[in-house]
């Protein structure tokens, strides 16, 4: 191991290996090399330790998906700050083509075609060629394909610079840990859209309670990843970090922390509702205190005091979007929201039989260690070739391994054999009904042809829902945050079909999906549709993404009883058996 003079965050290294995989795929490299870099990137993104610490310990190859060759590349990056392999690759393949891959449904083969046939090396050149009608005459293209690409480029332009929850949340927790260790700090919390657990957030907002702000401010602006202090005063500081995140810290006296935290958490519309209630009680509410008509202040050290002063129970941050939560609180009708501790089962996971990183036994042990009572192994079906999908014969062979592992683990955890079955472009499923009927659980999912017209992709989804063997629809729209918009589904029609046929809808906990969205989770809850929250785990650490899915369910007002995977195993199994 070399010295470690260059520090990279886990996500920065993951981005580098994702870039390598993209460039290799455009170049036409063999698929196993491409997948190796993608798996390494996924492992680094989900790693629960600082990769720099793992490096200094000499344990890089203990990271799932990091073999000798990739460990050597991490060594080179951390010791020299550069990677010769990537530099050579960028000399062979125009790096601007990676930007082209961000266009929805435009894969590396098409990017390579445009480059080699038309000399297109970046997004601007692709758009110009499309508007000039030059793409339609290429092999495998046509007017419709050209139009879809132009629509995809327009969709890219609508993206914001907001940060995915899964990137902002863990980094914010590390900031909280740092600031809580500063002498004199009584409390530190995240605020804003991050505390409300929205799928994407702007800046990371932090609030600290301390009588003296100097020490906590110094710790904040002195963080080793800070590259610029964009503002610093006595009670507020704003900084930018090396991995493209921005954060703001406010410091308030402990006795005013409750009103400050409530105000900074928002949302704006929720706060307007509270101020209206305050006025009805002869009070004026600000981030500092309640102001009485005689000019005196009523201070609140906690949020509970703020809400109690308004005659309300404390309202969970995930509900504070002015979607009826204040009215429900006044009526005593706030839902008892689902929590992480309510989850008994993981019904969507992958093993080395397809694109997972662990064996069935290892996945079962990881699930059991996290207190789960049921684990469904749902590897991909055949047509999703990039994920190493299984054939019908392989599914039968996998059953034998699942049964063997179940016998070894006895009643410590219940294993189910399922499959994430591809919904083809015409709405048919990847496996015949006989094969589906032999599975314990069938999850149907969209992965390709997501840009079909609204009516076509909706009918395709509904056709899958009508199949009597389908139990759950995974990540319904197929979106990937922030790189891919979901399918343009008529969600009201999809929800109606799910209700009619008793099919459950998944809230996928992976922070790049968080799909079903919260607004549709709430609509499903209102309609009585069964839901489940799954991690779509491809590794042990992926199982730890569950809180993101639970938070999305909470934003949808979902209660434990509405979730399949909160049920006791025997009740869940009976539900599956009853569905046939």
pLDDT tens for each residue of 105-117: 788 888 989 999 9
pLDDT of residue 505: 98
* Dihedral angle, C-alpha 442, 447, 452, 458, nearest 10 °: 30
pLDDT of residue 98: 83
CA distance 442 to 551: 25
pLDDT of residue 201: 93
- CA distance readout (Å), 205 to 287, 392, 471, 560: 14, 50, 40, 30
170-207 pLDDT tens trace: 999 999 999 999 999 999 999 999 999 999 999 999 99
Fill in the DSSP letter of residue 265.
H
pLDDT of residue 144: 86
Which residues lie below 8 Å from residue 415, measured CB to CB, with a gap of 6+? Answer: 360, 364, 374, 375, 376, 377, 402, 405, 406, 409
**Strand order of the sheet with strand 283-285?**
283-285, 290-292, 297-298
Q: Which domains, from first to last, does the chain contain? A: 10-157 (1.10.150.110), 161-252 (3.30.460.10), 271-334 (3.30.210.10), 340-579 (3.20.20.140)
CA distance 461 to 457: 6
Which residues lie below 8 Å from residue 520, measured CB to CB, with a gap of 6+? Answer: 476, 491, 495, 505, 556
CB atoms within 10 A of CB 561: 10
pLDDT of residue 1: 52
CB atoms within 10 A of CB 5: 9
- CA distance readout (Å), 366 to 369, 370, 375, 378, 515: 5, 7, 10, 16, 24
| Tokens read off for 103 | 């266009």
What are 416's strand-pairing partners?
A: 376
CB atoms within 10 A of CB 225: 15
| Tokens read off for 484 | 């891919």
Task: Indicate the SS3 state at residue 347.
Answer: strand
> Among all chains, which residue has been given the structure tokens 């006791």?
568
The alpha-helical segments, DSSP class H, found in 470-545 are: 491-501, 518-527
Helix (H) or strand (E) holding 349, with range, is strand 345-349
Task: Single out the residue of 349, 284, 334 nearest to residue 310, CA to CA.
Answer: 284
| Tokens read off for 539 | 């590794």
Which residues lie below 8 Å from residue 397, measured CB to CB, with a gap of 6+? Answer: none
Bridge pairing between strands 290-292 and 374-377: unpaired
Fill in the DSSP letter of residue 313.
P
CA distance 209 to 299: 14
> Among all chains, which residue has been given the structure tokens 């002195």?
222
Which residues lie below 8 Å from residue 195, measured CB to CB, with a gap of 6+? Answer: 189, 205, 265, 317
**Residues of the chain with confidence (pLDDT) below 50:** none
Report the first-to-last Cα separation within the chain, whole angstroms.
Answer: 56
Note the pTM of the prediction, 2 decimals.
0.80
CA distance 6 to 13: 12
- CA distance readout (Å), 546 to 193, 250, 360, 535, 556: 19, 30, 19, 6, 16
pLDDT of residue 242: 79
pLDDT of residue 3: 58
Rg (C-alpha) for the chain, rounded Å, is 25
């Amino acid at each position: 191991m070399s010295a470690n003079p260059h520090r990279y965050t886990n996500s920065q290294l993951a981005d580098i290996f994702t870039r390598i995989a993209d460039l290799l795929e455009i170049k036409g490299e063999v698929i196993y090399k491409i997948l190796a870099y993608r798996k390494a990137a996924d492992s680094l993104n989900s790693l629960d330790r600082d990769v720099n610490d793992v490096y200094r310990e000499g344990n890089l190859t203990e990271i799932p998906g990091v073999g000798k060759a990739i460990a050597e590349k991490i060594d080179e990056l951390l010791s020299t700050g550069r990677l010769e392999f990537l530099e050579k690759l960028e000399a062979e393949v125009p790096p601007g083509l990676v930007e082209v891959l961000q266009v929805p449904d435009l894969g590396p083969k098409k990017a390579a075609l445009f480059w080699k046939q038309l000399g297109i090396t970046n997004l601007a050149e692709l758009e110009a060629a499309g508007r000039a009608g030059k793409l339609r005459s290429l092999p495998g293209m046509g007017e419709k394909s050209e139009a879809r690409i132009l629509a995809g480029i327009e969709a890219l332009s609508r993206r914001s610079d907001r940060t995915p929850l899964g990137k902002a949340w863990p980094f914010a927790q590390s900031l909280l840990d740092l600031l809580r260790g500063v002498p004199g700090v009584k409390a530190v919390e995240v605020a804003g859209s991050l505390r409300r657990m929205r799928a994407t957030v702007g800046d990371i907002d932090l609030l600290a309670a301390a009588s003296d702000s100097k020490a906590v401010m110094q710790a904040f602006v002195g963080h080793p990843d800070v590259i610029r202090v964009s503002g610093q005063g006595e009670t507020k500081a704003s900084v930018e970090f090396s991995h493209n995140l921005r954060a703001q810290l406010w410091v308030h006296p402990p006795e005013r922390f409750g009103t400050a935290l409530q105000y900074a958490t928002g949302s704006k519309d929720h706060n307007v509702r509270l101020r209206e209630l305050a006025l009805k009680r002869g009070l004026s509410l600000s981030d500092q205190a309640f102001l009485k008509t005689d000019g005196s202040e009523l201070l609140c050290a906690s949020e509970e005091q703020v809400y109690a002063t308004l005659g309300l129970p404390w309202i969970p941050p995930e509900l504070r979007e002015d979607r009826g939560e204040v009215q429900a609180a006044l009526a005593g009708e706030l839902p008892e929201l689902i929590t992480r501790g309510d989850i008994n089962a993981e019904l969507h996971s992958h093993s080395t039989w397809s694109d997972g990183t662990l064996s069935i036994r290892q996945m079962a042990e990881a699930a059991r260690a996290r207190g789960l009572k049921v684990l469904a192994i749902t590897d991909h079906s055949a047509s999703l070739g990039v994920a190493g999908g299984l054939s019908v014969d392989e599914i039968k062979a996998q059953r034998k391994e699942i049964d063997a592992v179940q016998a070894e683990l006895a009643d410590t955890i219940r294993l189910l054999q399922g499959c994430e079955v591809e919904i083809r472009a015409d709405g048919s499923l990847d496996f015949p009904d006989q094969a589906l009927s032999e599975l314990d659980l069938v999850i149907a999912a969209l992965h390709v042809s997501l840009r079909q017209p609204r009516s076509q992709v909706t009918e395709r989804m509904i056709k899958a829902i009508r199949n009597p063997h389908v139990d759950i629809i995974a990540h319904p729209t197929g979106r990937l945050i922030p790189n891919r918009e979901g399918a343009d589904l008529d969600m009201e029609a999809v929800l109606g079909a799910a209700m009619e046929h008793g099919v459950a809808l998944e809230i996928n906990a992976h922070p790049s999906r968080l799909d079903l969205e919260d607004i549709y989770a709430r609509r499903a809850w209102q309609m009585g549709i069964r839901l489940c929250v799954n991690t779509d785990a491809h590794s042990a650490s992926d199982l730890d993404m569950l809180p993101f899915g639970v938070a999305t369910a909470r934003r949808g007002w979902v209660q434990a009883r509405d979730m399949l995977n909160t049920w006791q195993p025997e009740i869940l199994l009976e539900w599956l058996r009853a569905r046939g």
